[in-house]
């Protein structure tokens, strides 16, 4: 809820973030009185027009008699079908007017739903492709979580022995740690995962949209595979990648229709091949290398995962730490990673984590941000204190806008511009809000300080991790590059330590 | 190969419903050839927008699936052929009413003299987009001073609200 003019425009980035990630949201904004609309009155802004491309729908309520039905409809639309943000703009005179509330208000525009276009022929084609595949890979995205299809997905994986790769927003749809879970795919996905996709003979895309960060170069993406795409949104089928079978419908229902036709299968040779690639990844993993006294962000995220037994809700910001979290904090439950995927909104973590903790007070919630993103919305520390939100905040401080610096190093001739950051003392900053705060500079301090933070009650607590400044996220598929042409982490040598 | 695709979009006549369609066309990078907007029938609750876009064969399906996501869109009818759509052009030429060549042109199908004034003649031409495009160079020698064209309009094969107008 925001006031008119600048209050409303300050919502724009959040609304666009929700639109890109299919998050249900209803925004109620103030507006000048109906008689003043169009007259450039103080704080008049056409927020309906501004947000039109980044909302699922929007309303300007001009008569209080329409208010009840509009709000009912707005919440219905935000949550139904492919979820998304809806804006309701309320002129001041409508806010002050009175009306009789009709709890049985109809939903005149709410009957519209995406058609269930399931064709028996297409279902049969999907079954045949699955039966005939010896090297299949499932690509599971946020749609799997939105559909609540985790059980059906697990049945499909287990029965048909199909490895599962996850998009960033699909993490949690299938438990990482399961032998058939390959973790994150794409630009900073695991090497073995990307190799599995590139060498598959069948991709089964479930509630994902073949984002450029997932596919790399479309011309070389999984060329030897047939493709099945299941999504609620018909406009996603064939949008980026041509598919052999497109099934439009609720993922859970589609899988329920498919499963009875799918017999158990054994794909041991394929799984063994992937396991070999995974072992190569493990050998390269910096966690298993001697990095001397350096505290790497990877250490922090791995140790945080261990300390929380992998059970925390993590809310990440955007940048290097976001990718490291995705690589080193395996999630086993739906809804335990909240992050900005599509829009890549820096500044997301702190306010979103406050919301996550308030919505799920029983969960241990960690906001994980870099020093750059944290400074974009750190004023929300006041909200966390004021509302006594028991939030744990980890600031991964490397003194740079690290991901941009990484691109400048790798792809722009090391011409560093606007990426070194002057950062404040995050400990002193937190203390100014009466937030207990700690600074960690060594690997051995990570676990004890995390434990201290976990035990703190009564409000937020902050831990700053001063990590090695110039580390890069590996592997990395250069933008527009082929998914299997990854830049790998160099082996650490004695000279480097 | 790029061709024209015509879709007839039936919209709720609500605040900003047309804007949403137009924004979608821009945001999704469609190459718009023309738009024609008018009430769909006697009921004021529905508006018909005929959208003509240029693009590869799959463009019509891409546009349709995106349009169907808009809450204000009641239904979308894809025309099988852009040749079924008609446009209208008013073309004013400097003179020529008395010239034999011009008179012959005015007698061709789809053309009529809409307005005859002392120093100019206005022709009304109907036909497909391509038909209208072909006419302009033929009229150029007579001195075109002004052109006004509509976008494509089209009747849908499916019975819709407009079909009930005469009942």
DSSP state of B160: -
Please name the residue that has the structure tokens 């609200």. B161
User: What is the pLDDT, as a whole number, of residue A494?
Assistant: 56
> Nearest residue on chain B to A48, judged by CA atoms?
B16
ipTM of the complex: 0.85
Distance CA A281, CA A195 (A): 11
On whether the CB atoms of residues B134 and B123 are closer than 8 A, the answer is no
Per-residue confidence (pLDDT) for residue A151, from 0 to 100: 98
Inter-chain contact B69–A58, Cβ cutoff 8 Å? no
Taking CB atoms and an 8 Å limit, are A238 and B58 in contact across chains?
yes
| For helices A120-132 and A251-258, angle between their N-to-C axes, nearest 10 degrees | 70
Secondary-structure percent of chain B, ordered helix, strand, coil, rounded to 5: 30, 40, 35
B66 contact residues in A (CB cutoff 8 A): 235
Report whether A329 contacts A304 (CB < 8 A).
yes
> Do A52 and B19 count as a contact with CB atoms less than 8 A apart?
yes
Residues of B in contact with A77 (CB under 8 A): 71
Q: Which residues of B touch A109 (CB under 8 A)?
A: 12, 71-72
Residues 6+ apart with CB under 8 A from A57: A74, A77, A86, A87, A109, B71
Q: What is the DSSP letter of A147?
A: T
Q: Residue A173 region, left (φ>0) first, then alpha (ψ -120 to 50), else beta?
A: alpha
Query: Are A29 and A89 contacting, i.e. CB atoms less than 8 angstroms apart?
Result: yes
Work out the minimum CA distance from B165 to partner chain A, whole angstroms.
24
- Tell me how far the alpha carbon of residue A265 is from its chain's centroid: 32
Distance between CA atoms of residues B167 and B165, nearest Å: 6
Question: Residue A37 has which token pair?
Answer: 């609309």
Q: Which of B65, B66, B71 sits opposite A57 (nearest CB)?
A: B71
Could you write out the DSSP letters of every residue in A177-221?
TBTTEEEE-STTS-HHHHHHHHH-SEEEEES----HHHHSSGGGT
> Under an 8 A CB cutoff, do A77 and B71 touch?
yes
Is A58 within 8 Å of B16 when comparing Cβ atoms? Answer: yes
- CA of A234, closest CA in chain B: separation in Å? 6
Q: How much is the pLDDT for A107? A: 64
A-interface mutation test, from B16, B57, B67, B78, most A Cβ less than 10 A away: B16
For chains A and B, what is the number of CB pairs under 8 angstroms? 38
Distance from CA of A123 to the nearest CA of B (A): 20
Location of structure tokens 């996550």: A356
Query: Could you say which DSSP state residue A163 is in?
Result: -
SS3 at position A256: helix
SS (H, E, C) A314-374: EEECCCHHHHHHHHHCCCCCCCCEECCCCCCCCCCHHHHHHHHHHHCCCCCEEEEEEHHHH
What is the distance between the alpha carbons of residues A329 and A325, in angstroms, rounded to a whole number?
5
User: Which residue in this structure is represented by tokens 């902050």?
Assistant: A462
SS3 for B50? strand
Cβ contacts (< 8 Å) between A53 and chain B: which residues?
23, 27
Task: Give A489's DSSP letter.
Answer: P
Calculate the alpha carbon distances from A273 to A134, A135, A278, A317 in Å.
12, 10, 9, 34
Q: How many CB atoms lie within 10 A of CB A444?
A: 12
CB contact under 8 A, B66 and A235: yes
- Which residues, numbered 46 to 75 in chain A, qualify as contacts with chain B under a Cβ-Cβ cut-off of 8 Å? 48-49, 52-53, 56-60, 62
3-state secondary structure of B18: helix
Q: How far is A283 from chain B (nearest CA, A)?
A: 44
Residue A4 class from Cβ within 10 Å (0-12 exposed, 13-18 middle, 19+ buried)?
buried
**Distance (Å, whole) CA B115 – CA B90:** 10
DSSP reduced 3-state for A469:
coil
Tell me how many degrees the CA angle A456-A462-A463 measures, rounded to the nearest 5.
Answer: 105
Q: How far is B119 from chain A (nearest CA, A)?
A: 43
Cα dihedral A31→A36→A38→A39 (10° resolution): -120
Phi first, then psi: give them for residue A23, nearest 5 degrees: -100, 130
**Cβ–Cβ of A53/B71 closer than 8 Å?**
no
Q: Tokens 């007259």 label which residue?
A: A39
Q: How confident is the model at residue B42 (pLDDT cuts 50, 70, 90)?
A: low
Check A52 against B23: CB less than 8 A apart.
yes
DSSP H helices, A391-442, are 402-411, 426-432
A235 interfaces chain B, CB cutoff of 8 Å:
yes
Q: Which residue of B has its CA nearest to A81?
A: B69
- Rounded to 5 degrees, φ, ψ at A375 are -70, -10
**Count of helices and strands (H, E) across chain B:** 4, 8
CB-CB: which of B12, B16, B71 is closest to A48? B16
| pLDDT for res A192 | 98
∠ CA A292-A293-A295, rounded to 5° = 115
- Minimal C-alpha gap between B17 and chain A (Å): 10
Average of pLDDT values for B6-16? Answer: 93
Q: What is the pLDDT of residues B137-166, one digit of tens each?
A: 999 999 999 999 999 998 876 555 544 443
Please name the residue of chain A whose CA is at the shortest distance from the CA of residue B69: A114
Closest CA of chain A from B8, distance in Å: 18
Rounded distance, CA A162 to CA A179, Å? Answer: 10
Burial of A161 (0-12, 13-18, 19+ CB in 10 A): middle
DSSP reduced 3-state for A23 = coil
How far is residue A11's CA from residue A457's CA, in Å, rounded to a whole number? 31
For residue A57, give the chain B residue with the closest CA.
Answer: B71
3-state secondary structure at position A400:
strand
- Please give the radius of gyration of chain B, using alpha carbons only, rounded to the nearest integer: 18
Hey, are the CB atoms on A60 and B23 less than 8 Å from each other? no
Residue among B11, B12, B14, B15 with most chain A CBs within 10 A, to mutate: B15
pLDDT at B81 over 80: no
Residue A425 tokens read as: 């003392």
Q: Are strands A136-140 and A181-184 parallel, antiparallel or unpaired?
A: unpaired
Distance CA A175, CA A154 (A): 9
Its pTM stands at 0.92
Distance CA A180, CA A327 (A): 16
Instruction: Give the count of alpha carbons within 13 A of B64, CB side only.
Output: 17
Of A49, A59, A234, the CB nearest to B65: A234
Question: pLDDT under 50 in chain A at which residues?
Answer: 111, 115, 497
Sign of CA pseudo-dihedral A207, A210, A211, A215:
positive
Alpha carbon distance A191, A195 (integer Å): 6
């Amino acid at each position: 809820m925001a006031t008119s003019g600048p209050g409303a425009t300050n919502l724009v980035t959040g609304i666009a973030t929700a639109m890109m990630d299919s998050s249900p949201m209803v925004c109620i904004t103030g507006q000048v009185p109906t008689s003043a609309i169009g007259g450039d009155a103080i704080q008049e802004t056409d927020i309906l027009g501004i947000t039109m491309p980044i909302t699922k729908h929007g309303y300007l309520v001009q008569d209080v008699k329409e208010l009840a039905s509009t709000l009912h409809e707005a919440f219905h639309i935000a949550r139904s079908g492919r979820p998304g943000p809806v804006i309701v703009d309320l002129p001041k005179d409508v806010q002050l007017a009175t009306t009789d509330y009709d709890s049985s208000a109809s939903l005149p525009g709410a009957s519209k739903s995406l058609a269930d276009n399931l064709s028996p022929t297409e279902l049969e084609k999907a079954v045949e492709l699955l039966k005939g595949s010896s090297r299949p890979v499932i690509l599971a995205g946020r749609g799997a979580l939105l559909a609540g299809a985790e059980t059906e997905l697990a049945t499909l994986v287990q029965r048909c022995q199909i490895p599962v790769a996850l998009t960033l927003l699909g993490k949690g749809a299938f438990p990482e740690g399961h032998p058939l879970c390959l973790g994150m795919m794409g630009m900073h996905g695991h090497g073995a995962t990307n190799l599995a996709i590139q060498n598959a003979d069948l991709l089964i895309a479930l509630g994902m949209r073949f984002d450029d960060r997932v596919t790399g170069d479309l011309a070389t993406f999984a060329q030897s595979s047939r493709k099945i795409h299941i999504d609620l949104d018909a406009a996603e089928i064939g949008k980026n990648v041509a598919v052999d079978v497109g099934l439009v419908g609720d993922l859970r229902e589609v899988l329920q229709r498919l499963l009875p036709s799918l017999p158990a299968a054994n794909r041991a040779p394929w799984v063994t091949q992937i396991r070999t690639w995974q072992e190569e990844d493990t050998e390269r993993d910096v966690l298993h290398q001697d990095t001397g006294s350096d505290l790497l962000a990877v250490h922090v995220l791995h140790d945080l995962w261990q300390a929380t037994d992998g059970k925390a809700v993590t809310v990440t910001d955007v940048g290097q730490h976001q990718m490291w979290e995705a690589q080193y904090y395996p999630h086993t439950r739906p809804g335990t990673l909240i992050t900005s995927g599509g829009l890549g909104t820096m500044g997301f973590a702190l306010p979103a984590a406050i919301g996550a903790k308030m919505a799920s007070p029983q969960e241990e919630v960690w906001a994980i941000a870099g020093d750059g993103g944290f400074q974009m919305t750190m004023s929300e520390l006041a909200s966390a204190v004021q509302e006594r939100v028991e939030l744990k905040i980890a600031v991964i401080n490397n003194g740079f806008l690290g991901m941009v610096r990484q691109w400048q190093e790798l792809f722009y001739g090391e011409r560093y511009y606007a990426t070194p950051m002057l950062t404040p003392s995050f400990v002193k900053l937190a203390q100014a809000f009466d937030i207990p705060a700690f600074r960690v500079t060594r690997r051995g301090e990570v676990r004890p300080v995390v434990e201290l933070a976990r035990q703190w009650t009564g409000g937020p607590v902050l831990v700053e991790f001063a990590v090695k400044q110039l580390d890069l996220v590996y592997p990395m598929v250069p933008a527009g590059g082929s998914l299997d042409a990854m830049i790998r982490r160099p082996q650490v040598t004695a000279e480097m330590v | 190969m790029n061709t024209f695709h015509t879709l007839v979009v039936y919209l709720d006549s609500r605040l900003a419903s047309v804007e949403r369609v137009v924004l979608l066309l821009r945001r999704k990078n469609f190459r718009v050839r023309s738009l024609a907007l008018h009430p769909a029938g006697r009921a004021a609750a529905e508006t018909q927008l005929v959208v003509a876009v240029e693009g590869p064969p799959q463009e019509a399906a891409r546009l349709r699936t995106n349009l169907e996501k808009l809450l204000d869109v009641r239904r979308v009818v894809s025309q099988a052929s852009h040749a079924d759509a008609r446009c209208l052009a008013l073309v004013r030429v400097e003179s020529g009413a008395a010239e034999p060549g011009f008179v012959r042109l005015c007698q061709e199908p789809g053309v009529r003299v809409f307005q005859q004034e002392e120093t100019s003649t206005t022709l009304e031409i109907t036909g497909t987009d391509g038909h209208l495009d072909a006419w302009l160079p033929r009229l150029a020698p007579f001195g075109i001073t002004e052109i006004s064209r509509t976008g494509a309009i089209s009747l849908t094969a499916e019975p819709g609200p407009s079909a009930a107008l005469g009942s």
